[in-house]
Structure formats: structure tokens, C-alpha cells
């Protein structure tokens, strides 16, 4: 059982720390890899950590694992402060992006190494046998091979097996699938999900792939610049993003966002078009960003439709849909239509926005309005 809590955790790195200590002190540029992170991972849940490159995901995982010391704040496991608990006593299993298998050891030695290290060598055969059954068909064929002779996908399976053989209370995954090709990634993702569900072990799953984050995480935390922007289920994040960053980060393709202001008719005006409505509570002159997802725009004439020119068309085969990249004047707007929709590049189409699906954000702070 593991219930994890991070309280105001900060971690800073120094960019180009001078080689001679004190040499150019004060001029060092500080990177806040983690900037006051508060996060709770409930017992038995898998939390996906999603965010762009460099936002602090790996740092977060390393701090939870005890491989990095935070500069501020606390990491609590079941309410206990982990400050003085070394990684090996935290009952964690980690799978790194590059798998970090010992190259000179056969897979079964890789899996058993932890037990050898802890004078529990007699457990190894049973552990290897058990984990090999869990990992499924064909895994036993990998046991007597060394990592350099294995494919990326096979190494990944060995790394996961090594992690679960230790029976950890907490799984930590750092983009474990990113080296696999698209097909294998989906397959392995399913395998991993089954394993996670079977063990009901608490887990942290770091990725910058939204599909993976949704598929594996019970809840998601979206990070940006060392901060957690929002935590919630996929539905929470997708339909009620707390700010512009989350709104624009989630969704493939992402939400359309338009900058504008509240006009003297109580509506909203952008650079190239206007809307008759605005959220109550806003005043004339307020600068507001309006957002709408591509699937919430219909191609049809209406009292409020605006003309858009099709710029580019992209098929979305799996969804039996097409994505139209359009321009309303100079404003770009992506629209999702059914695969049979007869659009050509250069066509002018009337776009009707579903007004109840609009999102409003403060231009200055990016915060959601209402
Ligand atoms: N050892 C280090 N020294 C200096 N800066 C570092 C160090 N490790 C990480 N950083 C910086 O801290 C920030 C967060 O890095 P981190 O590796 O946690 O990002 P990430 O979200 O895992 O990114 P990616 O998706 O590319 O793996 C980045 O700006 C990175 O350049
Ligand atoms: Mg990383």
C-alpha cells in the first residue's frame, strides 16, 4: 500500500554551474525544475504526469524515488517524511526511458539482481518463474539472453519484469514506451495496463504522449515549467481546463483559441470575426481569449456563422473523420468533419460554433473564466 504526497516540492538546477566553486557566483542562471509542486497520488491509483519536454516530469519522478533531494518541501509516503529514507528503502520499482538494464547480465540475472544484492538469492528462481508467467507468451525465451541482443520492445518487457519482480509498493515509469514503434507501443501499453490493474499498485507514469497518459492513468497531472497546472480525470481536463495552457496542450488537434475583447454590444470581437454572446460577468473592454475544440464547430449556415477558407485537409482514419485547417480572414481555425464531408482546399465554408461549448480565458493570466 502506498499513498504519496508531495507538499510544496521545489528543485532547482544551475545552468552551467561554474567548474570552480564560487567563480561567477550570482551570475548562475537557476532553472526551477520543480516549483512548489503539490500532488497527491492515492493508494492503488496510477497517476499520469503529462507535459512538454523540459517541464520537470523526470525530476518529479527522481525526487519521489529519492534519487534527487528536493530544495524545499516534503515527499511523504503513507504520511511519513521520506527526507532521510534512501531510494533502496522506499519499496519502489522504476522503469526508465532507456530501461537501464545491466548489459552484461542475462535477462534472468537482471531480474534477480536485486535479490542477490539483498542476500535473498534463494528466492530468484521462483520470482523469475512467477514474473515470467505474468509477462505472458514468449517471455521465457528472453530469459537467457543479454540486453544488447534484444530488441527495444523485448528490453522494455525485461525492464518491466525486473521492476515487478521486486513486488514494489510504488511503480515509477519514465516514458517506458517512447523507444518503441507505434504498433508495439499500443500493444505494450495494453500489457502494462493489465499488469497495473492486476497489482492495483500505486503508480506514477510519466509521458508526453496524451494517449498513453489517458490509457494508463486513472488521473492525470499536467505540468508546465516545473508546476502542476491541473490534476484530474481526462474528462475534467478536457472539458474544464483551468487555464489556457491545459486547454491548448490537451486534445489532438488542440483547442482553437482566439484573442479578442468584449465589445460595446455585449458580445465578443476578435481580429476577424465576432460572437454575439459572452459569459455573464464580463464588462465592455475586457480582454478575453475564447476557445473551442475542432469537434464543436459545425459546417452550416446560421445566424452567427462565419465564412472560412479551407487551407489544408488531413484524414483522421481511425476516427472516420477529417480535419479541416481553415482560415477565417487571417485567423486559423481547425474543424473536424465526418470522413464523407465533401470539402476541397480553397472552398469557402460557413462555420457555426456551438456556443455552449465555448471556453473563456483571461488574456493576461490565462486563467479560466467561469
Ligand atoms: N542535472 C541537471 N542540471 C541542470 N539542469 C537540469 C538537470 N536535469 C534537468 N535539468 C533541467 O530541468 C528542467 C526539467 O528537466 P526534466 O528532465 O525533469 O524534464 P522532463 O519534463 O522530464 O523533459 P523530457 O520530456 O524532455 O524528458 C529542464 O529545464 C532541464 O534542462
Ligand atoms: Mg524526462
User: Tell me, what CATH number does 237's domain have?
Assistant: 3.40.50.300
Which residue range forms the structural domain that includes residue 323? 253-362
Please indicate, yes or no, whether residues 153 and 231 belong to a single structural domain of this protein: yes
Ligand number with the minimum distance to the CA of 96: 2
Domain assignment present for residue 221? The answer is yes
- Of 190, 215, 244, the last residue of a domain is 244
Q: Above 80 in pLDDT, residue 22?
A: no
Segment 328-348 mean pLDDT: 95
Q: Which among 9, 18, 30, 59 is the best mutation to test ligand 1's pocket, defined by most ligand atoms within 8 Å of the CB?
A: 59
> Looking at residue 303, what is its pLDDT?
87
What three-state secondary structure class fits 97? coil
What is the pTM assigned to this prediction? 0.88
Q: How far is ligand 2, taken at its centre, from the CA of residue 174, in Å?
A: 7
Half-sphere exposure for 73 (CA within 13 Å, toward CB): 22
**Tens of pLDDT along 273-322?**
888 877 778 889 999 999 999 999 999 999 889 999 999 999 998 889 99
Please indicate, yes or no, whether residues 181 and 286 belong to a single structural domain of this protein: no
> Looking at residue 312, what is its pLDDT?
96
- Closest CA to ligand 1's atom 30: 54
Please indicate, yes or no, whether residues 46 and 73 belong to a single structural domain of this protein: yes
All residues at 6 or more sequence positions from 288 whose CB lies less than 8 Å from its CB, including other chains: 260, 261, 262, 268, 278, 282, 360, 361, 362, 363, 369
Amino acid at each position: 500500500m502506498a499513498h504519496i504526497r508531495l507538499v510544496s516540492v521545489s528543485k532547482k538546477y544551475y545552468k552551467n554551474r561554474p567548474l570552480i566553486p564560487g567563480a561567477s557566483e550570482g551570475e548562475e542562471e537557476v532553472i526551477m525544475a520543480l516549483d512548489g509542486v503539490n500532488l497527491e497520488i492515492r493508494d492503488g491509483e496510477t497517476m499520469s504526469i503529462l507535459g512538454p519536454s523540459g517541464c520537470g516530469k523526470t525530476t518529479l519522478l527522481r525526487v519521489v524515488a529519492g534519487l534527487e533531494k528536493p530544495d524545499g518541501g516534503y515527499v511523504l509516503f503513507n504520511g511519513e517524511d521520506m527526507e532521510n529514507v534512501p531510494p533502496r528503502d522506499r519499496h519502489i520499482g522504476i522503469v526508465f526511458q532507456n530501461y537501464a538494464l545491466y548489459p552484461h547480465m542475462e535477462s534472468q540475472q537482471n531480474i534477480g539482481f536485486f535479490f542477490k544484492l539483498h542476500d535473498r538469492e534463494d528466492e530468484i528462481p521462483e520470482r523469475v518463474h512467477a514474473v515470467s508467467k505474468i509477462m505472458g507468451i514468449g517471455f521465457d525465451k528472453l530469459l537467457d539472453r543479454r540486453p544488447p541482443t534484444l530488441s527495444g520492445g523485448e528490453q522494455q518487457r525485461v525492464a518491466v519484469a525486473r521492476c515487478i519482480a521486486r513486488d514494489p509498493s510504488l511503480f515509477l515509469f519514465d516514458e517506458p514506451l517512447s523507444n518503441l514503434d507505434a504498433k508495439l507501443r499500443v500493444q505494450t501499453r495494453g500489457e502494462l495496463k493489465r499488469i497495473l490493474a492486476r497489482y492495483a499498485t500505486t503508480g506514477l507514469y510519466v509521458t508526453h504522449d496524451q494517449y498513453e497518459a489517458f490509457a494508463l492513468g486513472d488521473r492525470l497531472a499536467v505540468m508546465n515549467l516545473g508546476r502542476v497546472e491541473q490534476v484530474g480525470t481526462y474528462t475534467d481536463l478536457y472539458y474544464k481546463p483551468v487555464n489556457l495552457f491545459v486547454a491548448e496542450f490537451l486534445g489532438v488537434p488542440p483547442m482553437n483559441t482566439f484573442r479578442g475583447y468584449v465589445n460595446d454590444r455585449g458580445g465578443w470581437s476578435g481580429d476577424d470575426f465576432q460572437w454575439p454572446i459572452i459569459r455573464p460577468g464580463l464588462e465592455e473592454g475586457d480582454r478575453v481569449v475564447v476557445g473551442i475544440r475542432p469537434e464543436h464547430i459545425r459546417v452550416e449556415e446560421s445566424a452567427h456563422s462565419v465564412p472560412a477558407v479551407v487551407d489544408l485537409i488531413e484524414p483522421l482514419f481511425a476516427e472516420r473523420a477529417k480535419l479541416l485547417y481553415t482560415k477565417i480572414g487571417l485567423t486559423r481555425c481547425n474543424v473536424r468533419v465526418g470522413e464523407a464531408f465533401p470539402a476541397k482546399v480553397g472552398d469557402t465554408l460557413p462555420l457555426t460554433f456551438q456556443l455552449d461549448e465555448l471556453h473563456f480565458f483571461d488574456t493576461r493570466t490565462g486563467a479560466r473564466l467561469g
